[in-house]
Amino acid sequence: MTPTAQGAFCASCSKEVIDFTTKNSEEIKAIFRARLGESLCGRIKQSQELALNREVDAWLSNRTERIRYASYLSLIAVFGMSLFSCNSPEAENFVHQWQRHSTEQTMDVRGNETVPEPVVEKIEHLPYVEKEVLYAAQALEEVLIKQQNEMVSYDAVTMGRMVYHEPVREFLIEQIEPQIEYDRNGLPIPTVFADKVFPNPTNGTAQYEIQLPTSGTFVIGLYALDGRHLRNLHEGELERGTEHFELDLSNELPGTFLVVTRSKNFSNTRKLLKL
């Protein structure tokens, strides 16, 4: 197989060119073994060729391995000659090396290996001897063995840090339900301040409800949205409990009104809409 001047393979071989440059020696030999008896064409590095040459020398030094790798060497010879263009002395040197190994291997393959015959040892069969053997029997007395129970103790060692837990102290707390107080109207005395206007919006009259948890002096006034004071609903002392005040807006034009509740340290405003 003669390469071209550019170093490419011939047209008859270019249909199947195996790239060995990314494979190790074992993978290359596996491909040779699978393509035994065929002519291969491939691409290989110089370092891979040197590694295969060293393995070939090792194979040739052991006569028992020559037959096993004879097919490898014949494939390597054909593969190596088709690898270079022979334009440089270095390439010609590699081609001659592959030719030398191929020739030596061909001579070894044609040699006759002598296989030693298996050694068969002579086996002598001895007859069986049947004979009754008599011996004196000695009767043994029963002996009671007293076994002493032993107590086995184990020492356990726990590794780690000491952990302190705060003791939980439980106290019995007797809770007394608060007694419900009622105002003069029979309603429960509220615990927080609250107020509301209903119905809201209204067509003419409405009710203003105020819930007082403590007694005090209060001024409850009705104001227009523009700040005009219309009248007071209450002015003076109020006891704890729930109080109701009537709001009459029959003579007022439709609009928004304010119910303002004031005390010494307290002020609250509630809106009312008249339709």
How do residues 191-215 score in pLDDT, each as one tens digit?
888 889 988 888 888 999 988 888 8
Distance from first CA to last CA of the chain, Å, rounded? Answer: 114
C-beta of residue 261 within 8 angstroms of C-beta of residue 218: yes
* pLDDT on residue 257: 92
| Mean per-residue pLDDT pooled into runs of 10, the chain (275 residues) | 49 68 86 80 84 78 57 56 47 49 44 60 72 68 72 66 72 74 82 88 89 88 89 89 88 90 87 88
* pLDDT on residue 84: 42
The residue type at 263: S
* pLDDT on residue 115: 61
3-state DSSP assignment of residue 239: coil
DSSP result, 128-149: P----------PPPP-PPPPPP
C-alpha dist (Å) from residue 14 to 4, 19, 29, 221? 12, 12, 21, 111
Look at the block and give the residue holding tokens 């060692």: 157
Alpha-carbon span 11 to 95, nearest angstrom? 20
C-beta of residue 195 within 8 angstroms of C-beta of residue 210: yes
Domains and CATH numbers, the chain: 18-110 (no CATH), 194-274 (2.60.40.1930)
* pLDDT on residue 184: 80
* pLDDT on residue 103: 44
How do residues 90-132 score in pLDDT, each as one tens digit?
545 544 454 454 444 444 444 455 666 666 666 777 777 777 7
Residues linked to residue 205 through DSSP beta bridges, in sequence order: 248
